[in-house]
Amino acid sequence: MLTMCRTGKSTSKHTKKENKMAFDFSFTDEQLEFRDIVADLAQREIAPYVSEWDQKEVMPWHAINKMGEAGLLGIIGKPELGGLDLDYITLGIAVEEIAKVDNSSAMICSMQNTLTRLTPGWGDDFIAKVYAGKALVCIATSERDAGSDVSNIQTKAVVDGDELVITGEKIHVSLMPGATLMGVTAQIIENGESKGTEFLRVPAGAPGVSCELMPEMGVRSHQLGIVRMKDVRIPRDAVLGDAAKGAGKGAGKAVLYARWNVSRCLSALNALGSAQAVLDQAIEFVKTKEVYGRKIGLNQAIQFPIVEHYTRVEACRLLAYKALWMNVRGENAAKEATMAKWHAVTLSVQAIQDCLQMFGANGYLTEFGIERRLRDTMGLMFTGGAINIMKMIVVKELFGNEFMGISRNS
């Protein structure tokens, strides 16, 4: 476990009161050490198996176990449960480094950290298993007619004494089959009336739960499933979230929103890590590849696109880390996190696509891994909200609710 990193909880070399400088873009020494350790683990324990996991479309349990052993599934978690008790920026560093090798494993790291730490109610014993890489948690919110519009959720949880009886279907459920516990959004129905939406803790193996794999174009090893629930019984108090902030009172959407400002930053860094790896790979390739007796890297038609993409990646990385920094400070980072997410994924997909063409026909082969990178990064377009939904949220932040063009607030 990366215990040496617990000494570096601060995100800068100065506290807010001590910092007399306008800006400080440096990581702490502990964070730099942490980055090197994560990068080494990713190269040793994940990189050799990524292609196989992708082709077989299987859960990367080896990566999950190794990330658990190193504490990477509980980077922001409580130390008494096996977490490292570090900050969001350090979590972002880990996600970016893992993404340079595998987007699926980076996504799993991101999801396990944010769901367990930012959504209370899973239970300490279960969280300890997640941090150790022995169990997984997932989120089941999307439905066929309720994706980004969580106000239109049709899954119902009917109050029956001390129990809730859940019936409904969820799609695009990450880590299913595979997860142990699910966070399920459902309408609470009591005496025939809706009491609002709640975020419920549902065992994936509970009677009445079934799952079907949804084949994906990319991020195939993190798996995606359809979850069907028919008369699934859970305790009435199996509600996720902080009761002081409305959980248990029909505030399921608020529980979801609480983690999005962090998870969207992590999705941005996931995409940027992938783009960075491909750009570095392309630079090495064009410096040695010769066509008609001349290295293709000598051509400005090759050089300039790489320079342009490199610049965009660096600029967007700063935005993503700024948004995480704002989260650490307790500031509202909705606009910055959402901008980072949509912009990072968009520019990363374009960067990888352009680099693929520099490899010629080799870029199309699975051997080089670039086509997988393109597929995986495109999958990040939809995690935490599609690109245009992200832009609508920025519109809300800039213009106000009435300019979003929909009848309900996002």
pLDDT tens sequence across 84-94? 999 999 999 99
Is residue 410, in this structure, part of any structural domain at all? Answer: no
Is residue 291, in this structure, part of any structural domain at all? Answer: yes
Is residue 172, in this structure, part of any structural domain at all? Answer: yes
Same domain, 121 and 10: yes
Same domain, 278 and 204: no
pLDDT tens sequence across 38-70? 999 999 999 999 999 999 999 999 999 999 999
**What's the pLDDT at 118?**
83
Mean pLDDT (the chain) is: 91
Which amino acid is present at 114? Answer: T
For the segment 173-186, the average pLDDT, to the nearest whole number, is 95
Same domain, 201 and 300: no
Q: Of the candidates 119, 135, 151, which is a domain's last residue?
A: 135
Same domain, 262 and 332: yes
**What's the pLDDT at 13?**
41
State the CATH number of the domain containing residue 63: 1.10.540.10
Distance between CA 111 and CA 109 in Å, rounded? 6
Is residue 323 scored above 90 in pLDDT? yes
Q: Of the candidates 135, 157, 178, which is a domain's last residue?
A: 135
Same domain, 244 and 278: no
State the CATH number of the domain containing residue 371: 1.20.140.10
Confidence bin at 243 (pLDDT 50/70/90): low
State the CATH number of the domain containing residue 207: 2.40.110.10
Same domain, 22 and 116: yes
Number of domains in the chain: 3
Is residue 84, in this structure, part of any structural domain at all? Answer: yes
**What's the pLDDT at 385?**
86
For the segment 303-322, the average pLDDT, to the nearest whole number, is 98
Same domain, 129 and 148: no
Contact between residue 242 and residue 67 where contact means Cβ atoms under 8 Å apart:
no
Q: How far, CA to CA in Å, does 405 sit from each of 389, 392, 395, 396, 409?
A: 12, 9, 10, 10, 10
Is residue 353, in this structure, part of any structural domain at all? Answer: yes
Question: Please, is 122 exposed, middle or buried when counting C-beta atoms within 10 Å of its C-beta (0-12, 13-18, 19+)?
Answer: buried
Is residue 408, in this structure, part of any structural domain at all? Answer: no
**What's the pLDDT at 24?**
81
Same domain, 29 and 115: yes
Is residue 390, in this structure, part of any structural domain at all? Answer: yes
- Could you tell me which residues come within 8 angstroms of residue 407 by beta carbon, excluding any fewer than 6 positions away? none
Confidence bin at 406 (pLDDT 50/70/90): low
Q: Of the candidates 135, 160, 180, which is a domain's last residue?
A: 135
Q: How far, CA to CA in Å, does 232 sit from each of 170, 184, 235?
A: 14, 12, 10
> In this structure, what token pair is assigned to residue 224?
């995606």
For the segment 247-262, the average pLDDT, to the nearest whole number, is 73
Same domain, 16 and 84: yes
pLDDT tens sequence across 330-383? 999 999 999 999 999 999 999 999 999 999 999 999 999 999 999 999 999 998
Is residue 15 scored above 90 in pLDDT? no
Same domain, 117 and 232: no
- Could you tell me which residues come within 8 angstroms of residue 126 by beta carbon, excluding any fewer than 6 positions away? 135, 137, 180, 181
Distance between CA 306 and CA 342 in Å, rounded? 21
**What's the pLDDT at 242?**
74
| The model scores a pTM over 0.85 | yes
Is residue 409, in this structure, part of any structural domain at all? Answer: no
Is residue 409 scored above 50 in pLDDT? no
> In this structure, what token pair is assigned to residue 37?
């350790």
Structural domain that includes position 390:
256-403
Same domain, 245 and 369: no
Q: Which of 182, 183, 73, 102 is nearest to 379 (CA)?
A: 102
Same domain, 11 and 90: yes
Confidence bin at 259 (pLDDT 50/70/90): confident
